[in-house]
Amino acid sequence: MTNSLDLHTADTSLNALSSAALSDQQAIARDMVALFTDEQSARERRGLITLRVWKFLAANGIANVKRHAEDGGYASNSTNSLHIPVQFALGINITLSGTAAEKKDRTNKVAPFMKSVDYMNRVRDEHDFEAMSDADFLKLYLGQFGQQAGMAAKLAALVRPVPEETAEPEAITIISSALESASAVKVKGATIPGILPSASMLCVAHFDGTNTIFLPCPNAAPSVVAEMTEYRSTGMEDASATALFWHQAMTVGPAIIPDIERSSEPKRALAPDDKLNPSTEVLAAYAVYLLDGSNLSVANARMDDTRVLTIEPNCDVDTKANSRLPRFMDKKTRNTMLGRLAKPALCAGYGGKDGISSVSNDDRIRVRFAHKSKSALNGQLAFPKLTEFGKNWTHKVSKAFRPAARALLGAESLAKLKTDHLAVLVKKQAKERQVTVTISDGTFGIKHGDGQIVSLLADTTGKVEVRVMSSDLLASLPALLSLEGDLSVEVDPEGMLALAVTTAVATFRVHIQTLEKGRDTRSRKLLERVQALPKLVKDSAVTDAAPTDALAA
């Protein structure tokens, strides 16, 4: 005889269930609903705490929080720099006295939060966690991320060692391959002091208008030399048009519109009798890439005077970035992708099938880059709406820009421009000077200061004479002339000169402020200020499917 209850044989009769049995079943069902509710609530609370910990560390700085926590007695044997800051954020000090079981329990409570925060740090370029609402994060956390367990698994995949068969080639192999490429230039004899037979050495070359200056860097490690070889001029020959567009945009853009540390805007309001001076703390003037349709407009932020570069893709080139809403490129994602896209041999790896694609989520357009051989190089460029521009501001070219004269310079004139004028600009770059530009009767003229005018043959329409500053030409011409194509010049005497080159994928046009008539100050008539657009009550009221006015000021 047994005392166990066999659920299948305990009662073979088919009697109706009693009211007590039904009441018991209803109680079980209620408890089950409460259990699921509690579990769902706990999952959501765990997700929201994860987000709060990440935002806390992002806002206060991991190093600052760690130092404060260590001063308060927090410690760790982990090599992960997040371990102590996450302990502090959660209020769980795993090193406090207690039994081994208690210490293990505290460690187990902290670990999933640390791994989740670590994973979020690694994918922050793909998701705007700072601005993300609780509801949007929970949707991501419970879905795509797979809660903390899923985030831990994704983190492990990101940090997993590269299999031996796909490991990076050694630096020497990379250097040897680069030296055999079409970019390499052979010079007879050992013309650079310090270089030995069979040795590879990093060297910086600079042409000052008269001489070529070499700066040998013999102490650069082979790994550094190998990385620098990826910036060589060849490697994009078989790349897709989309990859070539982003390569050119991320090389020409920073050359003409660099990130500048000092803007025209002080960090704090000045007293009525104070003026901006070199010691005044100011905000940065980083480059801002605005997206209007499929065109990019690039200018410095918070600068009263700035060059404006427009990049207009050819009609048959799909850049994967197209929006009818005003948008701007997220700087964090630009910083991540800039070095990758600027290296031809590396950028070409994004040109495979589905190598460059576009998605829209979190109210952002994301141009995603999947490398065909190195998944660690995968990344994206994110474009938030201009409603998220905050207190930042920049400029674009005014719609009032109307060229009154044009000139088109062919290969022969461009060669003369390089030797007779650009060399002069380089020689005298230490001192800012005025440069006079004229267009008239088949001639494009350019004169540096009080020097001789350089006259170049050109196809011209109209007649004009304007003045610009030498620094603007020196920043623009080398980058444009590095592209293959004729140079066109357009001038609006009301305040702007534009230089443009059209490549196989896009037209790059630099707009330069001319000097005001009778004065030595740049004209701002044809610069139009761009700032954040007001947020709509219902953000879904305007979408990329609905046409709107272009970037409004």
The answer to whether residues 310 and 419 belong to one domain is: yes
216 lies in which domain range? Answer: 170-189+201-234
The answer to whether residues 403 and 316 belong to one domain is: yes
The residues facing 465 across adjacent strands are: 438
Alpha helices in 418-534 (DSSP H): 423-427, 470-481
Phi–psi pair at 289, nearest 5 degrees? -105, 105
Residue corresponding to tokens 């209007």: 292
pLDDT in 10s for each residue of the chain, 553 residues: 445 445 444 455 567 778 887 787 788 778 777 777 777 788 888 889 999 989 888 888 888 888 888 888 888 888 888 999 999 999 999 888 888 888 888 889 899 999 999 999 888 877 888 888 898 899 999 998 999 899 989 888 877 654 544 445 677 888 888 888 887 888 776 667 667 776 788 888 887 777 888 888 888 888 888 888 888 877 788 889 999 999 999 999 999 999 998 888 888 888 888 888 888 888 999 999 999 999 999 999 999 999 999 999 999 999 999 998 999 999 989 999 998 999 998 898 898 778 999 988 768 899 999 998 777 888 999 999 999 998 999 999 999 999 999 999 999 999 888 887 787 777 766 678 899 999 999 999 999 888 888 899 999 999 999 999 999 999 999 999 999 889 999 999 999 999 999 999 999 999 999 999 988 899 999 999 999 988 764 444 445 543 344 443 3
**Is the whole model's pTM more than 0.85, yes or no?**
no
The answer to whether residues 26 and 143 belong to one domain is: yes
Tokens linked to 412:
């022969």
Contact 178, 229 (CB under 8 A): yes
Number of domains in the chain: 3
Residue 407 lies in a domain: yes
Residue 285 lies in a domain: yes
Residue 63 lies in a domain: yes
Please provide the DSSP assignment of 19-44 as one string: HHHHHHHHHHHHHHHHHHHHHHHHHH
**Confidence at residue 553, expressed as pLDDT on a 0 to 100 scale:** 36
Phi–psi pair at 489, nearest 5 degrees? -125, 130
The residues facing 396 across adjacent strands are: 528
pLDDT tens track for 96-107 = 888 888 888 888
The answer to whether residues 219 and 116 belong to one domain is: no
Residue 2 lies in a domain: no
**Confidence at residue 541, expressed as pLDDT on a 0 to 100 scale:** 43
The answer to whether residues 227 and 245 belong to one domain is: no
The answer to whether residues 135 and 212 belong to one domain is: no
The answer to whether residues 67 and 178 belong to one domain is: no
**Confidence at residue 538, expressed as pLDDT on a 0 to 100 scale:** 45
Residue 370 lies in a domain: no
Residue 366 lies in a domain: no
The answer to whether residues 322 and 185 belong to one domain is: no
The answer to whether residues 418 and 498 belong to one domain is: yes
If you ran DSSP here, which 8-state letter would residue 522 be given? B
Contact 487, 473 (CB under 8 A): no
Phi–psi pair at 384, nearest 5 degrees? -70, 165
**Confidence at residue 12, expressed as pLDDT on a 0 to 100 scale:** 52
CATH of residue 473: 3.70.10.10
Residue 472 lies in a domain: yes
The answer to whether residues 38 and 137 belong to one domain is: yes
Alpha helices in 61-133 (DSSP H): 62-71, 83-90, 100-122
The residues facing 444 across adjacent strands are: 439, 456
d(CA 223, CA 112): 35
Nearest to 47 by CA among 131, 165, 187, 141: 141
Contact 82, 62 (CB under 8 A): yes
The answer to whether residues 422 and 283 belong to one domain is: yes
Tokens linked to 91:
């209020």
Residue 374 lies in a domain: no
The answer to whether residues 132 and 269 belong to one domain is: no
